[in-house]
């Protein structure tokens, strides 16, 4: 999957910011990263999405230079950096715990990259202030990290990593420690920051919402391998594997006998819960069935009101279960109550095959 991506793009003017070639990383007997090929283009917001322990953070640390690959090759902007120490790579990291220097003021933290490069004091203070303005933290320059809220620390960490405009910004679960409202606000802000600065962002997260909201492209990581690479829409609408279908969004996975009964064909199929419509079983199936809709009937076993939508669990005659999401827009069919008979219908193209 990743390879086709690379090939189609190499012909165009897009340049490569990060490139991993057959990178493997072992920790003792554990293989954290398994022969991964990955290409991140310049100016892209790229996300490594995967469950904890999938090796996504190790991938990020390999790019930063904190870990040395057991095998393979790492390139930044076309240069082989496999053996280059972190301090000589043109990338900066926003750490999960922010890693702000506790004994330095906000301003000193932000100016650090300039300080160690010997930039004159007047200039580095000016540029630190500038970076603080970008993250909307004017007036916080002389505070200590301990006096800041979680969201503010996050912004300081961002400003510190952006102050000398690295080629690539690495973000390790940067929003993990924030509450929901702040997380959503920061998602928008991160995306905006990436657009205005034009810096390549490589983000690691286990949160599919975060990945879908912010990324230009997503790589879904599992057990040290990349399962699928592609734009959010593609990963969501056309998952390459059953794992991707289940991990990115929720889905109804139907295999073997169940696939034959529900979908009408053998194989493994995924039907997104929001693609299934609830209909009144008393009414004859709409004329739509002619143009490739599939209709089944079942019994509602559970109804969960989840704010903007309602989640139905429906038991089909042979014990198969389907989850249906329905936007809370209009009234429900009469029978849409616990234990009620209900009709389900979906476009046959929405039951798409996934390799299992």
Phi, psi of 239 (to 5 degrees): -60, 135
Nearer to other proteins by Cβ, of 98 and 243: the residue is 98
Smallest gap from Cβ 71 to other proteins, in A, equals: 21
Q: What is the rounded CA–CA span in Å between residue 134 and residue 330? A: 43
Nearer to other proteins by Cβ, of 64 and 322: the residue is 64
Phi, psi of 54 (to 5 degrees): -85, -10
Smallest gap from Cβ 164 to other proteins, in A, equals: 8
Residues near other proteins (CB under 8 A) are 64-66, 85-88, 91-93, 95, 97, 99, 101-103, 112-113, 115-117, 146, 160-161, 164
Nearer to other proteins by Cβ, of 37 and 67: the residue is 67
Nearer to other proteins by Cβ, of 19 and 89: the residue is 89
Burial (CB count <10 Å: 0-12, 13-18, 19+), residue 18: buried
Name the token pair of 240: 């390459």
Nearer to other proteins by Cβ, of 103 and 349: the residue is 103
Burial (CB count <10 Å: 0-12, 13-18, 19+), residue 27: exposed
Burial 72-87 (b: 16+ CB within 10 A, else e): bebbbbeeebbeeeee
Smallest gap from Cβ 46 to other proteins, in A, equals: 18
Nearer to other proteins by Cβ, of 161 and 214: the residue is 161
Nearer to other proteins by Cβ, of 39 and 93: the residue is 93
Smallest gap from Cβ 345 to other proteins, in A, equals: 52
Q: Are 343 and 278 in contact (CB under 8 A)?
A: yes
Smallest gap from Cβ 93 to other proteins, in A, equals: 5
Q: What is the rounded CA–CA span in Å between residue 209 and residue 187? A: 10
Q: What is the rounded CA–CA span in Å between residue 311 and residue 324? A: 6
Strands 341-347 and 277-279, by their bridges, are antiparallel
Smallest gap from Cβ 97 to other proteins, in A, equals: 6
Smallest gap from Cβ 103 to other proteins, in A, equals: 4
Beta bridge partners of 270: 253, 352
């Amino acid at each position: 999957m990743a390879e086709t991506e690379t090939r189609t793009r190499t012909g165009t003017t897009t340049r490569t910011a990060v490139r991993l070639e057959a990178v493997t990383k072992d920790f003792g007997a554990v293989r954290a990263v398994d022969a991964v090929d990955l290409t991140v283009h310049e100016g892209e917001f790229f996300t490594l999405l995967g469950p904890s322990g999938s090796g996504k953070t190790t991938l990020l640390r390999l790019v930063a230079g904190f870990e040395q690959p057991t095998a393979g090759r790492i390139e930044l902007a076309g240069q082989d950096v496999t053996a280059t120490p972190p301090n000589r790579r043109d990338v900066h990291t926003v750490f999960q715990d922010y890693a702000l220097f506790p004994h330095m003021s906000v301003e000193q933290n932000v100016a650090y990259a300039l300080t160690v490069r010997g930039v004159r004091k007047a200039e580095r203070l000016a540029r630190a202030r500038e970076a603080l303005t970008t993250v909307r933290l004017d007036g916080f320059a002389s505070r200590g990290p301990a006096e800041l809220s979680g969201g503010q620390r996050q912004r300081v960490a961002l400003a510190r990593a952006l102050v000398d405009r690295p080629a690539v910004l690495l973000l390790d679960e940067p929003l993990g420690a924030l509450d929901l409202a702040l997380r959503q606000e920061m998602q928008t802000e991160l995306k905006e920051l990436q657009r205005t600065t034009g810096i390549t962002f490589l983000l690691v997260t286990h949160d599919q919402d975060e990945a879908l909201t912010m990324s230009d492209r997503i790589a879904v990581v599992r057990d040290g391998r990349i399962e699928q690479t592609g734009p959010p829409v593609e990963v969501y609408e056309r998952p390459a594997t059953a794992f991707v279908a289940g991990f990115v969004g929720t889905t109804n996975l139907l295999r073997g006998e169940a696939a034959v009964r529900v979908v009408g064909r053998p194989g493994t199929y995924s039907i997104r819960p929001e693609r299934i419509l609830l209909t009144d079983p008393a009414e004859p199936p709409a004329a739509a069935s002619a143009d490739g809709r599939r209709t089944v009937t079942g019994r509602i076993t559970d109804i969960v009101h989840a704010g903007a939508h309602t989640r139905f669990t429906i038991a089909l005659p042979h014990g198969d279960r389907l989850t249906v999401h329905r936007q809370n827009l209009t009234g429900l069919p009469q029978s849409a109550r616990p234990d009620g008979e209900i009709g389900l219908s979906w476009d046959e193209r929405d039951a798409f095959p996934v390799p299992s």
